[in-house]
Every structure is written in C-alpha cells, then in structure tokens.
Amino acid sequence: MTDPWRELYEREYPRLLRALVALGRDPAAAEDAAQEAFVKAHRTGLDRIEKPAAWLLVVGSREVFRRARRSRRELELWASLPERHDEIDTVADRADLLAALGELSERQRTVVVARYFYGLSYDEIASHFDIKSGTVGATLHQAIERLRQIQLAGRLARGVMR
Amino acid sequence: MSDERRDDEILGRALGRAIETLHVNETPYERSRMASPAERRALFGLPQVAATIAVVVLAVALGAWFNSVREAREVPAVGSPTAVPATTAPAAVATPVASIDPNRDRIWVYFARDSLPPVGVYLQGILDDSSSEGRTTSRLSLLMGLQPSRVPAGLLNPLGSVSPAVNGSRQTGLGVHTSGDTAYVEFNLPTGWGVSGSAQSQALLQQIVYTVTEEPGIDSVVITERGQRNAVIDQLVVDKPLSREDVSGYSRVSPQLIGETWPLTCTTPCPSPSTAKLSNTFFVDKVPVSAGAMRFMILVESGQPSEFYVSPLKNDQTRSQLPGKSVLQIDIAGTDSKTGTELVNSSPLRAIRTSVRGARTVYELALDDLRPWRVAILPNPERIVIDLGGYPASISDTIAVYSPGQGDPPLRRFSVNGLARTFEAAVLWRVRDGQNRIVASGSTTASIGTSQQWGTFQFDVQLPAPPPGTGDLFLEVYWASPKDGSDQGLVRVHLKVG
C-alpha cells in the first residue's frame, strides 16, 4: 500500500529544500526548516491541506526567515562551489544570482522563488502568502530588477562581462 | 508579453535553474523527522515539553503502576520513559520504517602505506547515502575524525591530521561537489594540512584521491583550498584533476593499456584435443608475490587451452555491479567449474567474476586501480599467472623484484626473486652500501628471455665478511643493453636498518 506521506516527502522534499537553501542561504537551517515543515504538515493532516507543495513552501520559508533573524548566520554557500567555465549559465553566474537573491527583502525572495522555482501563478502566490493579488506582479518586477542590478554589479566586479 | 516582462521571465527562469543546481543533502524518508519518533523528540515545542515533564512527575508519583501501563501500550523503547508519550505519537509514525542496509554501516575508505599504494578497508560508520556528495563527505569525514586507535596496524591515516574549520558544533571545512566523472573537494583548513615533507604530502594526496574516487562514476578529483584555485600540501602543488593512476606511484611504468593475446603451445606429446578444465586461485600482499601485489593464477587441470586474451578495461561501477575502478579481463579457452562473483575486498583485488560462455571462460578481476601487470606461464602443472602491482620502486618495464621488499632489513645472506623479460633472459644484480660502493654483484638467468611473457628468476646474495658497515644497503637488479652495455630496466630495493 502506498504511504501518502512518503509519496509527498519524496516528491516535494528535494524541491522544498533547494528553495529554502536559496531563500535563507544556510543549508543546515534550510534542512531543519524543511523537516519542520513536514512535521507540521503531518500534525495538521493531509486532508486539511489543500495544496501541500505550496503549503510546505509557506511554512518552510517562514521558518527559514525566523531562524535567520534569530541567528543571523550568513553562510557563503557558493564559496564551496568550484569554478567552471561553461559557455552560458556558468557556476559563477548561478552563484551571482543566488547571492543576489539573498540581497532582496524576505517578501521579494519568497515571491521570486514561488514564481520561478515553484511555478505558482500570481493568484496562488497572493492567496498562499497573504499578498494582495494586484501587487504580486509589481513585487516580482521590482525583485527581478533588483536581482539584475546586483548580478550585473557582481559580474562587473569579477570582470567576466561578455 | 512586453520586452520588459520577457526579460524578467528570462532572468527569473535562470534563477530557477540556479536553485535547481544547488547541492542539498536530501535526507531519505526513513531518516526524516516525520518518519522517525526518535528524531521527532527534538522537535517538541514548549507546551509538549511541559506536558512531558508533567508525565514524568506523574510517573515518579505512580511508580510501578505507571510503568506497567506504559508497557501495556507497547511504546517503542527509545530511551527514557519521557521520550515518546504514547498519546502524542501520530498513528502513521507509531511503527517507524526500519530498513537497515547492512552496507550502510560499513564504509570503504583508504589508508596510506609506506612505499606502497593506498589500501582500502571497511570501517564502521554511517554513510550518508542521499547523494554522491553526501557519500564522499561521509568517507572523508570518517577519516578526518578517526581516532588513532582505530587506524589498522601498519597503515597511515594522514587525513587524521587534517583539522577542518568548524562553526559551532558543525564541521564546515569540507565542500564536495561532483560534475560528470570529476569530484571537486574544497578544504577550509585554518591550521593547514597537518603534514610535512614530500612522503607525508604524497601519502595524504593518495588517501584523498583514492577515497574520493571510491564513489561510483567518479574517476578524478580536483582538490582546492578555500579561496584558492588549487591546493598546496606542504610544498606539493595540486593544480589539476587527479585519478588513482596519477598518484598510485607507478608512473614510471606504463600499465599496458592495450589488450594482448597469448598463444599457448603444448609440449609433445600434446594431450588429445578436448576442452581444457581450469581452476583458479589468487594471492594478495603475500608470498609468492610482494606487498602491494596480486597474483591471479589459472591452473590447467587437464586439456590444453590454445590461447588466452588479457585486456584491461575501465569498470563502470554504475552498471557492472563490480566494485573498483578497473577490470582486468582474461578470456581463455577452457571451462572453470566455479562460476559467479566472489567478493575479495583485499586491496587492490576487490572481486573476481567468473563466467563460462560455451567452451570459454571469462575471468574479470575487479581492481582498485590499473597497476602494471605481467603474465607468466609456469609448467608442471601448467599455470597461467597474472601478477599486478608490487612495490612501485621495485618494478620497471622489464624487471619486477618481489623479495626482498622495500624497507626490509639488510641481511648478510638473502634470497632475491621476481619476474623479468630481459635480453636473452640475462638478469644482473649488484649490492651497494650507503656510500654507493658496490659490495657484491652477480648474474642469473630468468626462465624465459625477451618476450611478451615474463620469466621467473631467483638467486641468493651472500655479502662478503665482515659485513660492509652497519648502514643501509641497496640491491640493484637490471640487465645490460646489447648495444652499449648500459643499465636497462633498473630496479633499486632499499634495505633499511632498524
């Protein structure tokens, strides 16, 4: 017999963990938060959670931000990534983007991850994250614009503009 | 869609891909907090702790009566009675999944050896089996934190001297990332590598490269120090991807990467044509070969195989179900009654897989690495011998000295044996003292001369009396070029005092 919790865990845990690492820049805190999110989901009960994936992201991201505020740990995740020189989308570019994400406000970070990593619609983001539906688009645009500026600055600083 | 919106989409998707490539430690379901009551204890919030304390007080007050109730409820035995109040355990996790993989608690890692390539052994430890990076980190961390008392006798653990950075209780000194067949390992070592001198540095490098490439699919390692593009271990600069063969110590001998066919001609009277009956045996690290060497021997019990074929192959561990990085495949006419896979796990020989196809037998020797190998055919009874490795300094393209070994004590009288394929089977030897003076010399004849095949040789050395000082001696075995008499294939065995 299929265990629905196992199924949910194996389907959603990797994605949730990556999202939380990107949001909080602390792999250990992200793992704690992801585990916590699943435990909370378990206590709540699957029948009471309409969209488990988004629910887990909401709970997990809150937990990550709460922990970050409390501990203010700033781990340089990408410092452990080796340098490679792919034609496009290099590790350095990805590291720049992830670093830039960390410079955004918590709300901007959450909206960007929900939209571009989870693929949630504007309406879904609005309802799950308690944001006015009319402001999701504007928040996203401001966030991306800020990402672009920070990433550009990073690339200029490294002298790798192509 | 406006241009601006499209640009946003492009950047947003790039970010999504960046997040997708993040290395994360994916805890399997069985070890998740949700599925594990033991772990879930740590998550209790304050109200639950308070409730638990209340239960303890109650338990103390009610004594044996409470215990009997608790046992009746069949609460899992997970330590103190306060651990898991039965009433708070959700039904779905009351029976935790307990799938214990027998190999998960044993980790194959490598230790260094003096004058020899590293040797692999199993150690007790928990392997983080969630990813390639997790497994590699487990292996390295086990060695870095290993108590000296757990290092097997005669082996060296230079990784035990490496002190990685820690942040609170968490080790942050090791970053592992894999891409294709290469692992990238970054060390953050505030106090340096903890080794000095070229021998220790080389031993550490060997241990890291062998241990990291134990991961299936990983053939080479890029080692860096935090913030640097390379690593400098004492004075040893490491600035390129390294495979096991790059660091094994056999670089001066080509390991014969091309397969070879070996004709076998029978001596008259030839046995009547019939399928040869074969059996096999092996020796690792012991007589008749030396430390670091392996001998695989096929015995021809009856009949006459006409030829056999030896080919070195790369082992794709992700598909072949054999451990090790290389396979030496021997395809021979004849049948072996024993088939199947025998796990040996005696470095460098990890396993032997024997399969019979029609009237032919294929032996696959799964190996840690591809070391120089030699084939000899011994008579009475007919045996096909495949030797591999040995002391790197005792092996050249044409001479392999098995005994004495590097570092053995100098004796007044000792025997020398090994394999050679020299011009007219002539093998020359001399012994030098610590001042490079020749104190004894001689010659012998190997069982076979210049050929694909190696011949065996054995001779005794008797040093003149009185013994030449008390210092180290150097045994040199070589052959003379027929053109100009120069030394060829020279092997130098260092015989050490003390």
Q: Where are the domains of chain B?
A: 29-93, 106-247, 260-389, 393-495
* Rounded average pLDDT over A26-53: 86
Tell me which residue in B18, B27, B175 faces A80 most closely, judged by beta carbons.
Answer: B175
Interface predicted TM-score (ipTM) of this complex, two decimals: 0.71
Does A13 contact B186 at a Cβ distance shorter than 8 Å? no
Say if residues A83 and B229 touch (Cβ distance below 8 Å).
yes
Number of independent structural domains in chain A: 2
Indicate whether A97 and A153 sit together in one domain.
yes
Q: Which positions ≥6 away from B226 have C-beta within 8 Å?
A: A79, B175, B186, B187, B188, B189
Count of beta carbons in the 10 Å neighbourhood of residue B375: 20
Taking only residues 107 to 126 of chain A, the set having a beta carbon closer than 8 angstroms to any beta carbon of chain B reads: 112-113, 115-117
Indicate whether A153 and A114 sit together in one domain.
yes
Contacts of B11 in chain A (CB under 8 A): 97, 144, 147-148, 151
**B177 in contact with chain A, both atoms CB, cutoff 8 A:** yes
What DSSP state is assigned to residue B408? P
Contacts of A147 in chain B (CB under 8 A): 11, 15
SS3 content of chain B, % helix, strand, coil (to 5): 20, 35, 40
Helix locations, A25-132, DSSP H: 27-44, 52-71, 91-102, 106-116, 122-129
Taking only residues 141 to 160 of chain A, the set having a beta carbon closer than 8 angstroms to any beta carbon of chain B reads: 141, 144-145, 147-148, 151
CA separation (Å) from B315 to A51, A104, B296, B324, B402? 45, 47, 18, 7, 27
Q: Which two tokens stand for residue B277?
A: 């009956």
- Give pLDDT, residue A80: 32
Closest-CA residue to B23 (of A10, A17, A132, A115): A17
**B222 in contact with chain A, both atoms CB, cutoff 8 A:** yes
User: Where do the DSSP E strands lie in B334-445?
Assistant: 335-336, 340-346, 349-357, 360-367, 373-378, 383-389, 399-403, 413-420, 426-433, 438-445
Q: Which two tokens stand for residue B246?
A: 């790059």
Does B224 contact A19 at a Cβ distance shorter than 8 Å? no
* Angstrom distance (rounded) from CA B51 to CA B57: 10
Indicate whether A105 and A71 sit together in one domain.
no
CA separation (Å) from B336 to A57, B272, B306, B311, B352? 60, 19, 15, 19, 13
Start-to-end CA span in chain A (Å): 54
Contacts of A19 in chain B (CB under 8 A): 19
Residue that terminates a domain, selected from A75, A108, A127:
A75
Å between A108 CA and nearest CA of chain B? 12
Q: Does the bond joining B47 to the residue before it have cis omega, within 30 degrees of 0?
A: no
Say if residues B392 and B117 touch (Cβ distance below 8 Å).
yes
Indicate whether A37 and A112 sit together in one domain.
no
Contacts of B177 in chain A (CB under 8 A): 80-82
Contacts of B227 in chain A (CB under 8 A): 79
Identify any residues that bridge with B383 across adjacent strands, giving them in sequence order: B299, B378
Q: Which two tokens stand for residue A78?
A: 């990408």
- Give pLDDT, residue B59: 42
Q: Which positions ≥6 away from B70 have C-beta within 8 Å?
A: B59, B81, B86
Residue that terminates a domain, selected from A34, A57, A75:
A75
Residues in chain B: 498
Say if residues A23 and A64 touch (Cβ distance below 8 Å).
yes
Å between A34 CA and nearest CA of chain B? 10
Contacts of A14 in chain B (CB under 8 A): 24, 26
Dihedral of CA B24/B26/B31/B33: which sign?
positive
What three-state secondary structure class fits B223? Answer: strand
Say if residues B380 and B293 touch (Cβ distance below 8 Å).
no
* Angstrom distance (rounded) from CA A48 to CA A41: 9
**A21 in contact with chain B, both atoms CB, cutoff 8 A:** yes
Count of beta carbons in the 10 Å neighbourhood of residue B346: 16
* Angstrom distance (rounded) from CA B2 to CA A121: 18
Whose tokens are 């392996």? That residue is B294
CATH number at residue A11: 1.10.1740
Tell me which residue in B17, B21, B29 faces A10 most closely, judged by beta carbons.
Answer: B29
* Angstrom distance (rounded) from CA B134 to CA B104: 13
Indicate whether A71 and A94 sit together in one domain.
no
Q: Which two tokens stand for residue A4?
A: 């629905």
Indicate whether A99 and A56 sit together in one domain.
no
Indicate whether A46 and A124 sit together in one domain.
no
Mutual orientation of helices A91-102 and A133-158 as an angle, nearest 10°? 130
* Angstrom distance (rounded) from CA A14 to CA B25: 9
Amino acid, single-letter form, for residue B43: L
**A5 in contact with chain B, both atoms CB, cutoff 8 A:** yes
Taking only residues 45 to 74 of chain A, the set having a beta carbon closer than 8 angstroms to any beta carbon of chain B reads: none
Ramachandran quadrant class, B443 (left: phi over 0; alpha: psi -120 to 50; beta: rest)? beta
Indicate whether A53 and A20 sit together in one domain.
yes
Backbone dihedral angles phi then psi of residue B391, each to the nearest 5 degrees: -60, 120
As assigned by CATH, the class of the B393-495 domain is mainly beta
Backbone dihedral angles phi then psi of residue B120, each to the nearest 5 degrees: -95, 145
Q: What is the pLDDT along chain B (498 residues), one digit of tens a residue?
A: 567 777 788 888 888 888 887 767 677 777 777 776 443 434 334 444 444 444 444 444 444 333 333 333 332 233 323 233 333 333 333 333 333 344 557 899 999 998 899 999 999 888 888 899 999 999 999 999 899 988 998 899 999 988 887 776 666 788 999 999 999 999 998 888 989 888 999 999 999 999 999 999 999 999 999 888 899 998 899 999 999 999 999 877 766 656 667 667 665 556 666 788 999 999 898 888 888 899 999 998 888 887 888 888 889 887 888 999 999 999 998 999 889 999 998 999 999 999 998 889 999 999 999 999 999 888 777 889 999 999 999 999 999 999 999 999 888 888 999 999 998 899 999 999 888 888 899 999 998 876 778 999 999 998 876 555 567 899 999 999 888 889 999 999 999 886
Tell me which residue in B19, B24, B40 faces A39 most closely, judged by beta carbons.
Answer: B40
Indicate whether A46 and A89 sit together in one domain.
no
Q: Which two tokens stand for residue B366?
A: 């799964």
Architecture of domain B260-389: Sandwich (2.60)
Ramachandran quadrant class, B469 (left: phi over 0; alpha: psi -120 to 50; beta: rest)? left
Indicate whether A71 and A53 sit together in one domain.
yes
Residue that terminates a domain, selected from A75, A96, A128:
A75
* Rounded average pLDDT over A39-56: 88
Å between B12 CA and nearest CA of chain A? 6
Q: Which two tokens stand for residue A123?
A: 């309406």
Q: Do domains B260-389 and B393-495 have the same CATH topology?
A: yes
Indicate whether A114 and A56 sit together in one domain.
no
Does B11 contact A148 at a Cβ distance shorter than 8 Å? yes
- Give pLDDT, residue A161: 42
**B270 in contact with chain A, both atoms CB, cutoff 8 A:** no
Backbone dihedral angles phi then psi of residue B28, each to the nearest 5 degrees: -65, 160
Amino acid, single-letter form, for residue B411: L
Tell me which residue in B19, B32, B226 faces A117 most closely, judged by beta carbons.
Answer: B19
- Give pLDDT, residue B81: 30
* Angstrom distance (rounded) from CA B474 to CA B451: 28
Q: In which domain, by residue range, is A29 found? A: 1-75
Dihedral of CA A14/A17/A18/A19: which sign?
positive
Contacts of B26 in chain A (CB under 8 A): 13-14, 17
Does B22 contact A39 at a Cβ distance shorter than 8 Å? no
- Give pLDDT, residue B94: 31
Tell me which residue in B11, B17, B34 faces A147 most closely, judged by beta carbons.
Answer: B11
Å between A116 CA and nearest CA of chain B? 5
- Give pLDDT, residue B304: 82
- Give pLDDT, residue B8: 82
CATH number at residue A88: 1.10.10.10
